[in-house]
Amino acid sequence: MADAPLADVIVLFGGTGDLAQKMLFPSLYILDADGFLSPGLKIVATARAHADTAAFAAQTRKAVEARGKVDDAVWERFAARLEYVEGDATTDEGAAKLKAAIGEAKLPIFYLSLSPSLYIRVCRALGHSGLAVPGSRIVLEKPIGRDLESSKEINAVLAEVFPEQHVFRIDHYLGKETVQNLLALRFANTLFEPLWNNLTIDHVQITVAETEGVGDRWPYYDEYGALRDMLQNHMLQLLCLVAMEPPSDMEPDSVRNEKVKVLRSLRPFTRADVAHNSVRGQYTAGVVGGQAAKAYEAERGQHSDTETFAALRVDIDNWRWAGVPFFLRTGKRLPDRRTQIVIQFKGVPHSIFGDGAEADLVANRLIIDLQPDEDIELLLMNKAPGLSRGGMRLQSLPLSLSLLKAYEGPNARRRIAYERLLLDVIHGNSTLFVRRDEVEQAWRWVDGVAAAWADAGMAPKPYAAGSWGPAGAFALIERSERVWND
């Protein structure tokens, strides 16, 4: 990749907020500790909360300490970069204060760690006030809109102020080491790619299960639900990385072009097939990890039609994947925290082992665990040890990479996804960020699912907190004689 110029100031909107304090500042501190921040890089945090730089730095140090050990010398260097600007950047006064704080810096990054409802206003203000200068970059968190129309509105305003190559739309899943490892697994090994198609693969499962409930995030969540909160972004990104064609290199557009092609090949849902191919659920009271958990509606305080669980059978209409269903499942208040991709291969075409071993034969399966444990297991058939009357007995055994044991030394620590992403923004590398057409294509497809649900009058089915979702989620996959890898 051609070297983009290094940013020299990060302006963090919403600097006192949860995301900034829990993820962004700890990540920036670690980047500094690891020697990744250039000496001149400034960090300007801005928010409405009343504070001065010293008080803000003290608060931020506590947040960084909550993630791990802080070294006094590194902290001193890091704190010297910090400046806090109290105010509202959408006013003339606020913008003037920010300009003063940015000072001589020439290449600012504007990180909007804000409610998406403020994106348009803040972006316009950056344009009007002249804070956005040629070359400056803007970083936004998901969700970019709530549907195609609202995402287009945001993207249009972004485009008035920033050229697309300077817009960094974050999907924090792409910052996870294990998610990037999917690219390495597929494209740095000769082993899998020849098998990665409908001749050999039976189906794919992608599960993102959480034990946490929605809790006090309901004002946001109730507007979005599992489909828009998890599926439109994180899960479709995982699907794209599994399903895309090999890009010619790791340039941002090479990778993103291939992902867009996958999104364009997703078969739209229709009113006629939506009940057959999808399940919506909402958790009721139950027990998770031995603790009583409230129903979603009790957290919400009233009746709600928002889904906290979604399972979908997705078909990708292209040559590689025709006839290979992708089963996607995500939910809150499930029994386990687990992000897992399962590549289920087809069975052998003919068994030579006779009747006794017929029942032993299990088709190969590649299990990629992304969270909480990182592991890659390939289930292979072996001869069962020992003697038996009649024919040979067989046994399926895992070939396991045990990634946690394999990663030793300074790289053993699990990195925060934002470390990678912030470093990439500073260097101007957008490979791991979501391009405008990508986010819009994902919304186009998701809007189709939401519209089909509405047309078919599909209300979420209840499931007890601590269970694997409504019974329909099992039926969804069993209809095609497959089962979830639980």
* 374 forms part of the interface with ligand BG6 (CB under 6 A): no
Q: How far is the CB of 385 from ligand BG6 (least distance, A)?
A: 39
- Measure the CA–CA gap between 232 and 7, rounded to whole angstroms: 30
**Closer Cβ to ligand BG6, 371 or 396, answer by number:** 371
Q: What is the CA radius of gyration of the chain?
A: 24
Residues 210-239 that bind ligand BG6 (CB under 6 A): 210, 229
The residue behind tokens 């919400």 is 300
CB of 79 to ligand BG6, least distance (A): 28
Backbone angles phi, psi at 53, to 5 degrees: -60, -40
CB of 59 to ligand BG6, least distance (A): 23
Catalytic residue among 128, 172, 234, 427: 234
Q: What does the block give as tokens for 324?
A: 């290979």
- What is the size of the binding site for ligand BG6 (CB under 6 A)? 3
Tokens representing 304 are: 């709600």
Position closest to ligand BG6 via CB: 229
Nearest Cα residue to 7 out of 111, 105, 84: 105
Q: In the annotation, is 427 catalytic?
A: no
Asked if the peptide bond before residue 385 counts as cis, ω within 30 degrees of 0, the response is: no
The nearer residue to ligand BG6, 8 or 229, going by C-beta atoms, is: 229
**Nearest alpha-carbon partner for 235 in 397, 449, 391, 462:** 449
Q: Which two tokens stand for residue 481?
A: 């004689």
Site pattern 316..355 for ligand BG6 (x: CB under 6 A): ----------------------------------------
- In the bound complex, what is the minimum distance in angstroms from residue 208's beta carbon to ligand BG6? 7
Residue number with CB closer to ligand BG6 (109 or 227): 227
User: x/- binding map, residues 178-217, to ligand BG6, per CB under 6 A?
Assistant: --------------------------------x-------
Q: How far apart are CA 21 and CA 173, in angstroms?
A: 19
Which residue is it, tokens 């504070």? 51
> Could you give the CA distance from residue 282 to residue 260 in angstroms, rounded to a whole number?
31
Pick the closer one to ligand BG6 by CB: 18 or 149: 18
Q: How do beta strands 201-209 and 365-371 pair?
A: unpaired
- Indicate the residue among 229 and 360 with the shorter CB distance to ligand BG6: 229
CB of 336 to ligand BG6, least distance (A): 13
**Nearest in space to 314 (alpha carbons), one of 476, 146, 149, 486:** 476
202 vs 229, which CB is nearer to ligand BG6?
229
Residue-level length of the chain:
486
Q: Phi and psi for 327 in degrees, rounded to 5?
A: -100, 120
The DSSP secondary structure of 268-283, one letter per residue, reads: PP-TTTHHHHEEEEEE
* Distance of closest approach, residue 77 Cβ to ligand BG6, in angstroms: 29
Which residues contribute to the site for ligand BG6 (CB under 6 A)? Answer: 210, 229, 371
Just list the catalytic residues.
234
